[in-house]
Structure 1
Amino acid sequence: MNTDKALTLDLNCDMGESFGQYRLGNDSEIMPYISSANIACGFHGGDPNIMANTVKLALEHSVAVGAHPGLPDLQGFGRRNMHISPEDAYNLTLYQTGALNAFVTAQGGQLHHVKPHGALYNMAARDPNLAKAIAEAIYQFNPELILYGLADSCLISQAEAIGLKTASEVFADRSYQSTGQLTPRDQAGAMLEDQQKSLDQIRDMVLHKQVTSVDGQTIAIRAETLCIHGDGPQALDFVRGCERFLQAQGIIIQTIQAQ
């Protein structure tokens, strides 16, 4: 969605991912620094109270609201692969998007995007049939929504093939394989824990349109939205540091506009 003419970048964060008694966690502190929020819809995290409160928080800060549908796996936080059919992927995406949209509409807002969560995201990034089903669910729900998906993955190509708007997503704190896929979390080096390395990776992806894989290969990448995870112990410090870094590079944090 961004163009080379303007140094702008959407900064997104996964939010509302607890359940049971409502806990804001880092959400209330991080929200002022981001431009888009991906809000859990009850399958991997979240519940009606959390969804309502997180939507309210986002709208109060003029942050674009997105649905963050995941696999039905609270215990595994939606990060464990499950065998699902394209029909399953379509229905669970439609179900969760509709649920989150109800809270957004009730509070006078407008749903902006959909970003699959965790294992569902990574499975669909590799599997064109799952990706197509997810894209079709979003398009048939509302063709004006934007699909946030892993840059250069099946999620992007399948969405574009049916005319759904996309935002190519990159990650500040995840390492990459030479295929352009994220390194699985159960493998060494999957998470970038050194803040300077994360900032260097952001600079390369946003300014130079490339990223270095775990085996040292340089691969081309398109960065339209940057994911910042908000659930780590140093998350707030990192988000603040990221904002300062982007500003120093002349990059404006700005929500992707539907066109």
Structure 2
Amino acid sequence: MDPSDPIPPTTAATPDAPATPRRSIDLNADLGESFGAWRLGDDLAMLDLVSSANVACGFHAGDPLTLQRTCAAAAERGVVIGAQVGYRDLAGFGRRFIDVAPDELTADVLYQLGALEAMCRVAGTRVAYVKPHGALYNAVVHHEEQARALVAAVVAYDATLPVLGLPGSALLRRAAEAGLRAVSEAFADRGYTGEGTLVPRREPGALLHDPDLVAARTARLVTDGRIRAVDGTWVAVAAESICTHGDSPGAVAIARAVRAALEGAGVRIEPFTGRG
């Protein structure tokens, strides 16, 4: 599977059925993805803007010192930490599908959870939720075995941990079936198709870089439950958390604009987990 392939609809495209306006929303970003001398994004600036941090666990990105510093900085700011687990693929930044056996994937996820938990513990906080990264995120939308393997790891490690993923995915369905809290998310800076899928990264409109445009779209999504697709139609999207990428060009400016637009619309920014 190509990790940039389209993913299933978040909901049906129903422009006449907007969602109930939300009074609060979680704002999350992928952080802790630098490695050694290689720096990716401005984690400290992003931590001043988000309510939840999806911190890398060393498999797709992040060296131990980076993870320790990221967890400490998040704890200082009261930002909730989630484990962003991925394939063992540093060279590919976790964006290449790996046909790993289910029992091996379960062990890999447990290993990553344990590593990040150690960094959280010494920072006085804890891992509060789990979110897959990159190709694994896309795979568990429809890959039943890998979705089941990821859920098995969370259940074995701590069945109180929520799982963050795409609405309608195999991951969230299996998480709910296993008694886990399944939390849906939407993307502030990604394009949507008229069918409610994310536009593949290789196609025009996949990534949005204008802070004002992204902020306006996100405010509409949260307050009205809809987002305009690349074909001009409106798509209904339900989410408890909004992801704004921390490694894209102008990431901090986008996150700052998104937060300001949401607060300007009367929406509180707060973690879906409560404080970590």
TM exceeding 0.5: yes
1:176 to 1:90, Cα distance in 2 relative to 1, 3 A: farther
Kindly tell me: are residues 213 and 85 of structure 1, through their superposed partners in 2, closer, same or farther at Cα, counting changes over 3 Å? farther
From 30, 38, 41, give the equivalent of 2:54.
38
State how far apart, in whole Å, the 2-side matches of 1:187 and 1:91 are. Answer: 35
Task: Find 2:141's aligned residue among 125, 136, 150.
Answer: 125
Contact 1:131 1:158 in 2 (8 A): yes
Structure 1 residue runs of 5 or longer lacking an equivalent are: none
Match of residue 270, structure 2, among 241, 254, 257:
254
SS in structure 1 opposite 2:26?
A: strand
> Does the alignment pair 1:230 with 2:234?
no
1:206, distance to aligned residue in structure 2 (A): 1.2
**Other structure's SS at 1:33 match:** coil
Equivalent residue number for residue 101 of structure 2: 85
Q: For the aligned residues, what is the CA RMSD?
A: 2.2
Over 3 Å counting, the alpha-carbon distance change for 1:81 and 1:186 in structure 2 is farther
Give 1:79 deviation, angstroms.
1.1
**2:222 matched to which residue of 1?**
206
1:157-210 deviation digits (Å, cap 9, x = unpaired): 111111101221110111224554322212232112233332233133212223
Report whether the alignment pairs 1:143 with 2:163: no
Q: Is 1:155 the counterpart of 2:171 in the alignment?
A: yes
CA distance in 2, matches of 1:91, 1:180: 33
1:63 to 66, 79, 83: 79
Question: What amino acid does structure 1 have at the position aligned with 2:61?
Answer: G
Which whole-Å CA distance do the structure 2 matches of 1:4 and 1:218 have between them?
A: 16
Could you give the per-residue CA deviations for residues 27-85 of structure 1, whole angstroms, max 9, x where no partner exists? 11111111000111111100111111110010000000111111111121111222223
Tell me the TM-score normalised to structure 2 length. 0.86
Q: C-alpha separation between the residues in 2 aligned to 1:22 and 1:191?
A: 23
Structure 1 ranges of 4+ moved more than 6 A: none
2:261 aligned residue: 245
Aligned to 1:94: 110
1:90–1:196 distance in 2 versus 1, CA, 3 Å: same
Give the letter for the 1:51 counterpart: L
- The worse-fitting range, judged by mean Cα deviation, of 243-252 and 125-134 is 125-134
Give the structure, 1 or 2, with the largest relative contact order (CA under 8 Å, sep 6 or more).
Answer: 2
Contact kept in structure 2, 1:43 and 1:72, CA below 8 Å: yes
Higher mean alpha-carbon deviation, 32-41 vs 14-23, is at 14-23
Matching residue's letter, 2:78: S
**C-alpha distance in structure 2 between counterparts of 1:218 and 1:147, whole Å:** 27
- Report how many residues are paired: 257
Consecutive unaligned residues of structure 2, counting only runs of 5 or more, are 1-18
1:106 aligns with 2:127: no
When residues 50 and 23 of structure 1 are mapped into structure 2, their CA distance, relative to the original with a 3 A threshold, is same
1:240 deviates by 1.2
Cα separation, 1, equivalents of 2:24 and 2:243: 14
1:175 is matched with which residue: 188, 191, 204?
Answer: 191
CA spacing shift, 1:210–1:88, aligned 2, 3 Å? farther
Q: How much has 1:257 moved relative to structure 2?
A: 2.7
